[in-house]
Structure 1
Amino acid sequence: MSSTGVLSAGVVAACVSFFLSILIVLTQKLHGRLSLDVDLSGAQKFHKTPVPRIGGMALSIALLAALLYQALDYPKPPSEGGTGKILLLLLAGVPAFITGLIEDITKRTSVKSRLAATFASALLASWLVDASLPRVDVSAIDYVFATLPFVAVAFTAFAVAGVANSINIIDGFHGLAATTVVIILGGLGMLSWSAGDYFVLKIIAVGIGATLGFFLINFPTGRLFMGDGGAYLLGFWVAEVAVLLIVRNPSINAWQVLAICSYPIIEVLYSMYRKKVIRKMSPGLPDRLHLHMLIYRRLVWRFIPRNDSKPWVRNAAVSCVTAVWIGGMTVIAVIFGSDAPALVVLANVAIYITVYTRLVRGRWRLNPVLALGIRPDSAVKEAR
């Protein structure tokens, strides 16, 4: 497929996503009883008025429409890596999306059931499109994968489910999840383009297009949320792109791919560590100590004045801050990741923990023993 075909796929996805997002907003009086997020007091709620949280419907239909358009323009059977194979990938994502959408409508789906659905989607992708990691560029683990293929499949499913969940976790402010997805897919797109893998590049293009179309309605005023359905679907899409890049391109180092995807992964892993080890609470319970929440409370509230006529300004500012950071990390991973990928990953982890500790404790703490909460820092009271 030519670069023109890839671009057209992205444009179709963007247009469909944009117009469907507008339609959802304009018709919210008809479906608001089911779709509106009316919980304004939750630990992870930062919006002021009820907002439809079914943006995932626009995202999923946009992906489907763009792929059907491409299937008609560039007919090629799934066995030959055509658009039909990407449609199978989208089909694999249905359990994750539907379970998230049910949560958006009923608000009664358990965390375990949603994680199980994303795990099931990953297993389906392994079966339908051979999206199972053959290697992680650690010799001992690669040997196990080669010897026991079911271990590779299970590891891949766990990783995909983790990434999907990580996008849902960071979906807390206007544009935050969308900008993160676009930046990560953009970085992976650079690797795909340099490797000449236009099949994966098309998957990336429709993902970026659908996300940007939604983003124009979500940011900055927050008139529509992607919801759990949209977050799990996009997280699944990002994770499968990462897996397929490694599967199809032996020249691409798995650690470089990890470095590009590092922000949401670090967020969810550190959140689990922080809750379980430091705060002695269940990792599944929500709190207000995620990095993006600390940026909102420690930076945005301090430097951006309150504006009652535009209450969304502070909310949207969080995405502007994180986009610069994530964009910088991604550029570094793309440029230097092929030479020292593990070092880039470790640098991302170190920077994250250092900045997080500064925000939560109110001062710089470069001692890793204090930063990781191994020994309490009695001099500083943590933000609550």
Structure 2
Amino acid sequence: MSEIQFFQLASVAFAASLVVSLLIVMSQKWHGGLSHDHDLNGVQKVHTTAVPRIGGLAVLAGVVLGCISFGRMYQASRTPLIGTEMVLLLIASLPAFLAGLIEDFTKRVSVRVRLLATALSALVASALLGATLRELDIWGVDALLAFTPVALLVTAIVVAGGSNAINIIDGFNGLSSSTIVIMAAGLAAVAVRCGDHLVADLGMVVIGATLGFMVLNYPRGKLFLGDGGAYFLGFWVSEMAVLLLVRNASVNAWQVLSICAYPVIEVLFSIYRRRFIQNVSPGAPDALHLHTLVYRRMVFKYVDKSSRNPWKRNAAVACIIPPVVAVCVAASVLVGTSIAMSILTVLAQVLIYIAVYGRLVRGRWTTAEAGRIDADVSVNPRLR
């Protein structure tokens, strides 16, 4: 596809997502009883007014219309198979999306059920598209992946974990959605270099749909992704990563990991922190994610509170973390053709994360600044 065709594909997805986002926000007085995020006192919540959390419907609409548009634009060309594969991936995404959407409406679907639903989506994608990991460029592991049951299990864990990682970083206006755009762009760039039109097209569709949603989400927070949107976008980008590896032998798994490193590092560190430092369930919610610490330690210090624009501090987080992610992803795309360089970029991102996290938790702060960290820091002195 040419640059103009990529733009057309992303534009259709953008427009469809934007229209549905507007409709959701404008009609919230009729569905707000079900769709609003009424729990304003949750440990991870920082917004002060109830907002529809079904932005995933808008993103899904953008992706669906993008796929339909692709099929119509290129049905007479050499790419009809790509349109079919895009639809098959949409079908595979339904368990992950529906589990999240039901949680958005009922607030009663457990994390375990959502993870199992996303793993099921990964298995469906494996059956429909052959999206099964057979090589991860890790000695010993690749030999095990030769056995189909092991390969399916690993693929399901990778996709479900990646999807949940996006849900975890979905804490501030524009943070998870901008991260999705950056990662999708990085994976699409590698795909273009490899001549993989399917993965590149998947990237353009999801970028357009996510940007359409962001018009209502950032900076004012008029609409949230919700679990349906977070799990859907996480699944879509995770499958882009899997397909990129499955379809292109020249792409190494470490480069793909490097492009998707930020949410992966966040979820792995959160599991470690909760299990071995706080001695609580790895799935327990808290206010100690990197983005929350950035908000409480940095944004509160340097961004003034505004009564006219109460969303100002919330939106500031997306001005701090995503630019760093973008630089890391760009470096991963540029130097990641070498496994050694890809491993170094992954390690560099891990070290950056640990250094920043440690500074935010253990740094010297005034009593007022320290008080902004939630009480769970105080009851866990090992975190200081």
Q: Answer yes or no: same fold by TM over 0.5.
A: yes
2:95 match: 95
Are 2:108 and 1:108 equivalent residues in the alignment? yes
Pairing 1:167-186 to 2, within 5 Å after superposition: 167-186=166-185
Matches within 5 A, 1:246-325: 246-325=245-324
Please state how far the C-alpha of 1:6 moved relative to its aligned partner: 2.9
Q: Could you tell me how far apart the structure 1 residues matched to 2:346 and 2:337 are?
A: 12
Secondary structure at the residue paired with 1:359? helix
Would you say the 8 A contact 2:277–2:383 is kept in 1? no
Aligned to 1:75: 75
Shift of 1:77: 11
Q: By how many angstroms is 1:5 displaced?
A: 3.1
CA–CA separation in structure 2 for the residues paired with 1:134 and 1:103: 33
Q: CA offsets per residue over residues 225-281 of structure 1, 9 Å max, x none? A: 010000000000110000011111111111001000000000000000000001101
1:157 shift after superposition:
0.7
Q: What SS class does the counterpart of residue 168 from structure 2 fall into?
A: helix
Alignment of structure 1 residues 11-22 onto 2, 5 Å: 11-22=11-22
- Is 1:360 matched up with 2:323? no
What amino acid sits opposite 2:178 in the alignment? T
SS in 2 for 1:308: coil
The answer on whether the counterparts of 1:77 and 1:85 sit within 8 Å (CA) in structure 2 is: no
**Alignment partner, residue 7 of structure 2:** 7
Q: Which residue of 2 aligns with 1:350?
A: 351
Supply the distance in 1 between the matched residues of 2:69 and 2:326 (Cα, whole angstroms).
Answer: 31
Q: Does 1:34 align with 2:56?
A: no
| Contact 1:125/1:131 (<8 A) preserved | yes
Residue aligning to 1:369: none
Gaps of 5+ in 2: 366-380
Aligned pair in 2 of structure 1 residues 329, 139: CA closer, same or farther (>3 Å)?
Answer: same
Distance, in Å, in 2 between the alignment partners of 1:184 and 1:128 is 24
What code does the residue aligned with 1:110 have? S
**What fraction of aligned residue pairs are identical, expressed as a percent?**
49
- Taking the aligned partners of 2:228 and 2:45, their CA distance within structure 1 comes to 17
Separation in structure 2 between the aligned mates of residue 158 and residue 239 of structure 1, nearest angstrom: 11
1:78 Cα offset (Å): 12
Match of 1:215 in 2: 214
Aligned residues: 367
1:120-176 Cα shifts (integer Å, max 9, x gaps) = 001111001111112111232222212x12211110110000000000000000000
Q: In structure 2, what is the Cα distance between the partners aligned to 1:24 and 1:77? A: 36
1:156-201 deviation per Cα after TM superposition (whole angstroms, max 9, x unaligned): 1100000000000000000001100001111111111111111110
What is the alpha-carbon distance in structure 2 between the residues aligned to residue 206 and residue 323 of structure 1? 20
CA distance in structure 1 between the partners assigned to 2:278 and 2:78 by the alignment = 48
Alpha-carbon separation, structure 1, partners of 2:362 and 2:251: 39
List runs of 5+ in structure 1 lacking aligned partners. 365-379
For 1:240, the equivalent position in structure 2 comes to 239
Conservation of the 8 A alpha-carbon contact between 1:67 and 1:87: yes
Equivalent residue letter for 1:347: A
TM-score, L = length of structure 1:
0.92
Aligned residue identity for 1:90:
L
Aligned-partner residue type, residue 356 of structure 1: Y
Deviation, 1:102, is 0.4
Q: Output the CA distance in 1 between the equivalents of 2:350 and 2:333.
A: 16
Distance, in Å, in 1 between the alignment partners of 2:299 and 2:60 is 32
CA gap of 1:78–1:63, structure 2 versus 1, over 3 A, is farther
Aligned residue identity for 1:129: L
Q: Secondary structure at the match of 1:214?
A: helix
CA deviations on 1:309-358 (whole Å, 9 max, x unpaired) are 11100000001101111111111211222231111111111111111111
> Helix, strand or coil: the match of 2:308?
coil
Establish whether residue 118 from structure 1 lines up as the match of residue 135 from structure 2. no
Whole-angstrom CA distance in 2 between matches of 1:31 and 1:327: 36
The Cα shift of 1:79 comes to 11
User: What CA distance in whole angstroms lies between the structure 2 residues aligned with 1:159 and 1:179?
Assistant: 21
Q: Measured at CA, do residues 330 and 343 of structure 1 come closer, stay the same or move farther in structure 2, by a change above 3 Å?
A: same
The aligned residue for residue 338 of structure 1 is 337
**Kept after mapping to 2: 8 A contact 1:123/1:153:** yes
Give the residue type in structure 2 aligned to 1:61: A
Distance 1:363 1:198 in 2: 50
- Structure 1 window deviating more from structure 2 (243-252 vs 2-11): it is 2-11
Asked if the contact 2:163–2:234 (Cα under 8 Å) also holds between the matched residues in 1, the reply is: yes
Aligned-residue CA RMSD (Å) = 1.8
Classify the secondary structure of the residue corresponding to 1:37: coil
Cα displacement (A) at 1:76: 7.6
**SS of corresponding position for 1:93:** helix
The aligned counterpart of 1:374 is: none
Q: TM-score, normalised to structure 2's length? A: 0.92
Classify the secondary structure of the residue corresponding to 1:172. Answer: coil
Q: 1:376 is matched with which residue? A: none
C-alpha distance in 2 between matches for 1:343 and 1:249: 22
CA distance in 1, matches of 2:215, 2:178: 11
Q: Secondary structure at the match of 1:47?
A: coil
Which residues in structure 2 correspond to 1:52-63 (within 5 Å)? 52-63=52-63
Distance apart, 1:4 and its partner CA: 3.5
Counterpart code for 1:255: W
